[in-house]
Structure 1
């Protein structure tokens, strides 16, 4: 099958959609499909204006304009992408939607206009853009025209269903993970008497709530007796860094909180294997790729209920789920202090692979492509 993956964002930008679309392309290719990517993100050397480059064996069409801050937007792209899709004799188009996705929105219309079987997957919770979707009617129109709609989690699918309306089926097509790559090579043992190592990884942007990570940690520190210690490593980069540094300084957290910045996936994996807990306070989390990686690496995950993290973390089994930040701080304090419970959760996480392994996800993607073809 020849598949076109269409996304506003792609490597070298770093983020959930970027990495997942890249990995999906690689996994589909490994399963015998021919895959090409169309994106409004320029290449690492500024490739744009339709330049086609090879990225890890996949042809990537760089439909980017020269814009401030390298914004992945190109309202001029539809005619050329339409020509390339028609000439390429693709079997299916798979459009990847984020919170605001002008390029992907245009690409959905282009693919459907060509009569190409089209799958559309949302990687976000759309509460903040719900009004815009309702006013424009894009999702309803795509459903009427026969697109196969999906989202990366049940909570995200319900969010999309709210704008599509009755009669349209929104399936769950989760993000995938290479279990063998992330599973811990040896059972983790916490050194006796050492501080518990808590980790978090995210883009340091307000939507991800990085400041809440420090707020929750500070509250947990207050709940613990003085002789019980933990450290926190918050990995990632973004516009909230200075605010985080000021918060840590104001609350005298510099001795046990570290902000190492952006790290490679290999370094992130090594840090997970050497840590004890993973913390995410995100409220608008459609899935939570970093949390899935941490859980696969054998870390108990602390997260909020009502997010996509509940797709792969069960409360009291491989993590703890909390209703708000105060409850999250209490859960963090509980796991830092309770070595036995923390060990039980970690053992289950390390020995029970998540359902979102790439072979399973590729099979689900293929099913979505078959559904798109039947609906056309």
Structure 2
């Protein structure tokens, strides 16, 4: 099968859609398919304005570098020409809340009569009414497009924006389980410096087989990974952690970067030394090492379309505390692999419970280490291909 993947954002940009589309392309190629990516993101060496990167995945860089963002309203004629000439079996469009290139791509591919699958990686929220009023989904589905979203929650919002009776599939994000699965057995001590704990003092703990348990009296180590931006709520996370009143019983490491980093660091500086540390952005291997030293994962974001960071932490064997009522509900089984809460007060209570209830924490960790999540590529890739067949049948 020859597949066109169409997305505003793609590496070298860093983000959820970027990583998922790149991983999907790689897994499709490994499965024997031919894949070409069309994107409005400038390439690593400045490729743009129609430049093509050759490789296992062929990447068309239809970016306009003068705009400095992955937007190019002038790309439509060239995109249409290349899709028409490419002999593609299916086009797969990846959409965020504001995705002008993806919207253009959906219009072009459906206009060409190309079987088209459109996946939303976002929470529509207030945009639901705008989608419905614009009639754009009716036009796309009227031309044969099939719709999907990355979680049950996100799919419900797309369904509400689409014409009555429209089928919206759930096509989840996925991970390579072996990248995150805990490596057993572990015989080395935990890295105290990662959590601001003085070696040989409170944090002189040693992890048992399969991950850390903090069972030696050392502080419980919690971690959270996010873009440090208002929507992700890093300040609210620290406030909830502090409100749990755990003192020396717990430490929190916040991983990420973004516009709120300076403000977050000022807030952390007001706390007792080492209680919370801001680690900045970490490479994947360093993040895996941090998870290997951790006892739990915290996710304060509301209205999460999916929660790829939550999935990675859960795959690494960490019990998760997260806001419920979002795409995270598909990843975390409340009371089994983590705790889902309705609000910030519930977040504070759940953090305290996770830290103080050793048996609960150990039971969830054991489950997450031995029962893999279903959102792994070996399960999800066949679902993607089934969606492509659905597009072809329409």
TM-score, normalised via structure 1 length: 0.95
* Separation of aligned partners in 2, 1:272 and 1:86: 46
Tell me, in whole angstroms, the C-alpha distance in 1 between the residues paired with 2:25 and 2:272.
42
Q: Is the 8 A contact 1:140 1:163 kept in 2?
A: no
Deviation of 1:137 (Å): 2.1
**Take 1:38 and 1:154, find their aligned partners in 2: how far apart are those partners?**
27
**What is the SS of the residue equivalent to 1:120?**
strand
Match of 2:173 in 1: 175
Contact 1:286 1:307 in 2 (8 A): yes
Structure 1 Cα separation of the partners of residues 64 and 9 of structure 2: 13
1:308 paired to 2:346: no
Which of structure 1's runs of 4+ aligned residues deviate more than 6 A?
none
Cα shift readout 1:52-110 (whole Å, capped 9, x = no counterpart): 1146x311111110235x21100011110111111110000000001110100000001
Query: 2:365 matched to 1:346?
Result: yes
Find the counterpart in structure 2 of residue 241 from structure 1: 261
Please give the alpha-carbon distance, in whole angstroms, between the structure 2 residues aligned to 1:317 and 1:354.
12
- Residue of structure 1 equivalent to 2:87: 89
| 2:237 match | 213
CA contact (8 A) 1:315 1:321 kept: yes
Instruction: Report whether the alignment pairs 1:293 with 2:319.
Output: no
Aligned position for 1:64? 63
Give 1:324 deviation, angstroms: 0.6
CA contact (8 A) 1:40 1:103 kept: yes
The match for 2:277 among 258, 262, 266 is 258
1:312-366 Cα deviation digits (max 9, x unpaired): 2111101001111110110011111111110000000110011111011110000
The equivalent residue for 1:331 is 350
Deviation at 1:210, TM superposition (A): 1.6
Structure 1 CA distance, aligned partners of 2:272 and 2:11? 34
8 Å Cα contact 1:233/1:259 also seen in 2: yes
Secondary structure at the counterpart of residue 42 of structure 2 = coil
Query: How big is the shift at 1:254?
Result: 4.6
Once the two structures are TM-superposed, the CA of residue 253 in structure 1 deviates from its matched residue by 4.8
Report the number of matched residues. 368
Counterparts in 2 of 1:284 and 1:67: CA distance versus 1, 3 Å? farther
Structure 1 residue matching 2:130: 3-state secondary structure:
helix
What is residue 22 of structure 2 aligned with on the other side?
Answer: 22
After superposition, give the CA deviation of every residue in 1:161-195 in whole Å (9 maximum; x if it has no partner).
11103121000000011112211012113341211
* 2:196 pairs with 1:196: no
Helix, strand or coil: the match of 2:306? Answer: coil
Is the 2:212–2:292 contact (alpha carbons within 8 Å) kept by the matching residues of 1? no
- The residue that corresponds to 2:132 in the other structure is 134
| Counterpart-to-counterpart distance in 1, 2:337 and 2:146 | 33
> What do you get for the CA RMSD once the two structures are aligned?
1.3
Structure 1 match to 2:161: 163
SS of residue paired to 2:126: helix
Q: Is the 8 A contact 2:113 2:143 kept in 1?
A: no
Matches of 2:268 and 2:130 in 1, distance apart? 37
Unaligned runs of 5+ in 1: none
Unaligned runs of 5+ in 2: 185-209
Aligned to 1:53: 53
Contact 1:49 1:63 (C-alpha < 8 Å) held by counterparts:
yes
